[in-house]
Amino acid sequence: MKRSEVEAARERACEMLASAEIVITDEERDDMEVIDLGLSEFERTGLMLVVYINTDRYCAKELIMFPRQTCPEHRHPRLEADPGKMETFRCRWGKVWLCFEGDPTSAPKARVPKGSEDYYTVFHEVELNPGDQYTIPSDTLHWFQADDEGAIVSEFSSTSRDEHDVFTDPRISRAPVIEEG
């Protein structure tokens, strides 16, 4: 992504947070991660992260997603003595569909991004509206998508080691590449 695109995404995410009356500090705004996952399709696949805290015991974040934006299928694997990240998603604004391992939902509302169909394998869907929450066990395949208005989701979890996430799509790179311009 170009630096100008990163800044535009941050500004848009801050507007969504303000609309939801979620206050973040200037430092949190400046540190907001704009995650495009190396696919160059940020409006479709990606999200923004505000990390409040991430220690060796727990983590708290805001996930900001634009309309129909998808965080692709992945899992948080076991790492030596660490059982992998267990996370609770709590919808704060908008609506999000969370898909994970289990019996497929007969009429899912989340849509796999075109061209990525081979990389989505789990289709048990839970709809989260403001105030709803759901906990994903560690090392569980999952993905999620915002509705047509976008969504803001608080994540509470054990320690986050995002660099070790395993994505079903081998094209994905978790490390951001920001170009000037």
Q: What percent of the chain has pLDDT over 90?
A: 88
Structural domain includes residue 152: yes
For 3-31, what is the mean pLDDT? 96
Structural domain includes residue 181: no
Domain that holds residue 66: 3-167
Residue range 9-21, pLDDT digits in tens: 999 999 999 999 9
Q: Report which of residues 16 and 179 the model is more confident about.
A: 16
Q: What is the CATH number of the domain that holds 145?
A: 2.60.120.10
Distance of alpha carbon 181 from alpha carbon 1, whole angstroms? 9
Residue range 113-158, pLDDT digits in tens: 999 999 999 999 999 999 999 999 999 999 999 999 999 999 999 9
For 165-171, what is the mean pLDDT? 95
For 56-60, what is the mean pLDDT? 95
Q: Burial code of 6-33, b = ≥16 C-beta within 10 A, e = fewer?
A: beebbeebbebbeebebebeeeeeeebe
Structural domain includes residue 180: no
Whether 176 shows a pLDDT value over 80: the answer reads: no
Distance of alpha carbon 65 from alpha carbon 48, whole angstroms? 7
Structural domain tally of the chain? 1
- Asked if residue 100 lies in contact with residue 169, where contact means CB atoms within 8 angstroms, the answer is no
Structural domain includes residue 176: no
Distance of alpha carbon 88 from alpha carbon 99, whole angstroms? 13
Structural domain includes residue 148: yes
Structural domain includes residue 45: yes
**Helix (H), strand (E), coil (C) string for 130-151:** CCCEEEECCCCCEEEEEEEEEE
Quote the pLDDT of residue 179: 77
Structural domain includes residue 58: yes
